[in-house]
Every structure is written in C-alpha cells, then in structure tokens.
Amino acid sequence: MIEVKNISKTYKAGSELIKAVDGVDLKIDQGEFTSIVGHSGSGKTTLLSLIGGLTKPDSGTVVIDGTDLWSISDDDLSEFRNLKINFIYQFASLIPTLNVLENVMLPTAFSKSDEPFEDYARELIEMVKLTDKVNSFPSQLSGGQQRRVAIARAFINRPEIILADEPTGDLDEETESEILGLFHNMNENQKITFLIVTHSTDIARGCNKRYRMSQGVLKSE
C-alpha cells in the first residue's frame, strides 16, 4: 500500500517560489489502478517523483508497504526502489547500440535474482507485439514501437508498482488501446499497482480511482 501524507514540494526559480505540490494526501491499495489528470504545470510529474522516491518532499511522508521512504539511507532507498517500483516516462530512452531483446533485458543486468529473464523478456516483447522486431535496433523502429519496447522493459524486473507519466502521450489510438490492454492485463494477472498520469479520457475511464491535479493540489474525481 502507498500512503502519502500531506506532502509538499516548492521549487525556487530565481526569486520566485513555485509550489509544485501542495499538501497532497493519497492512499493507494495494492493492485489498484489509479489515474491523475491535470493541465501541464499542475505538479503531476513532481508528485510521481516524490511518490517514487526520486525527489525528497519539503514536508510530509511517503510510506510504501510500511517503509517511510525518506527515513531510510540512500542505499536502502535505491534498493527498495529497484525491488518495488518502476517508472514509465513519456519519452522512451532506449540504448541505441542494443537490440530490442537486449534493451528489454538491460535492467536485469543488476538483478540478484537467478530467474531466466530471457524467456520473460521474449514473453513481454510478444505482449507488446514486437516479436518480429526482437533483433532490431531502436533506429529501425517507429516512435510508437520504441515506446512499446520501453514499456516491456519496465516490467522485466517484476515491479510491484508502476508509476507512468503520460505513457501513451502522442501515440495513435490503436497503440494506446493496446498498451492500455497490456496495463490492465498486468494489473489483473500480476496484481501490479498502477498510478498513471494521463491526458487520455480512455485511460482515466478504465481506472478504479481517478484524481485531478490543479496548481499542486490533488482532488478525487
């Protein structure tokens, strides 16, 4: 379970103070599928990075499965993150010199698990419908295909929580609905918890819980 209590984050831009996240409370149970919508600049990306332990809040707490993220050491925090959480960003950042299979498997290079990751990587590549591109390099793929590789990669370490920041932004409708189908499949079959920032009303409609963010403040819809 994710329990966010009264977190705030203010940025300094010159002499100006920007309250990007302003006293947000949020509770997400394991296996929930939650969306946040909001205008650009409303604080969505900042909130995801606070929840995912990438940015330290000025005040408030983020507790995930009983662990208060900002009360543990940096090393423990990165280990905790690696075990539990994965991010999907709007822009795929694939390694240009690695093929599709190698890109998807890259995160397992640091894994202590002895799971046969290649089989799972091939399964994920099939789920994102890129089996025929398994040996292709990123430069040989369309933008949408590259995004699907990045999405397959996000699941390889079997995270419990996926934090996705506009994962289908600027994708065509068909690809978006395929990716959405994959997310729901992962949510139902593997009980992965999803928190998705999105502009898509289709994505928001399929969520158990919906929130709107406005000027750093989160409200239930």
Ligand X SMILES: Nc1ncnc2c1ncn2[C@@H]1O[C@H](COP(=O)(O)OP(=O)(O)O)[C@@H](O)[C@H]1O
Interface with Mg ion (CB under 5 A): 45
Under a CB-based contact definition with an 8 Å cutoff, are residues 166 and 198 in contact? yes
Bridge partners (DSSP) listed for residue 193: 161
- List phi, psi (to 5°) of 83: -75, -35
Q: Which is nearer to ligand X, 44 or 148 (CB)?
A: 44
- Is residue 41 part of the contact set for ligand X (CB under 6 A)? yes
Q: How far is the CB of 45 from Mg ion (least distance, A)?
A: 3
Q: Which is nearer to Mg ion, 9 or 133 (CB)?
A: 9
Residue number with the smallest Cβ distance to Mg ion: 45
- Is residue 143 part of the contact set for ligand X (CB under 6 A)? no
Q: How far is the CB of 32 from ligand X (least distance, A)?
A: 21
Identify residue 25 by its one-letter amino acid code: D
Can you tell me the distance from the alpha carbon of 70 to that of 157, in angstroms, rounded to the nearest whole number? 23
Q: How far is the CB of 99 from ligand X (least distance, A)?
A: 32
Can you tell me the distance from the alpha carbon of 196 to that of 48, in angstroms, rounded to the nearest whole number? 9
Under a CB-based contact definition with an 8 Å cutoff, are residues 2 and 31 in contact? no
Chain center to CA of 193: 10
Report what 138 binds from Mg ion, ligand X, none; CB cut-off 5-8 Å by kind: none
Considering only residues 43 to 82 of the shown chain, the ones binding ligand X according to CB under 6 A are 43-46
Q: Which is nearer to Mg ion, 45 or 157 (CB)?
A: 45
Radius of gyration of the chain (CA): 17
Q: Which is nearer to ligand X, 47 or 156 (CB)?
A: 47
Angle in degrees, CA 202, 207, 212, rounded to 5: 85
Q: Reduced to 3 states, what is the DSSP secondary structure of residue 153?
A: helix
Q: How far is the CB of 217 from ligand X (least distance, A)?
A: 12
- Is residue 20 part of the contact set for ligand X (CB under 6 A)? yes
| Sign of CA pseudo-dihedral 185, 129, 161, 38 | negative
* Residue span binding ligand X (CB under 6 A) among the ranges 42-50, 62-70, 92-100, 112-120: 42-50
- Is residue 159 part of the contact set for ligand X (CB under 6 A)? no
- Is residue 200 part of the contact set for ligand X (CB under 6 A)? no
* Residue ranges in contact with ligand X by CB under 6 A: 11, 13, 18, 20, 38, 40-46
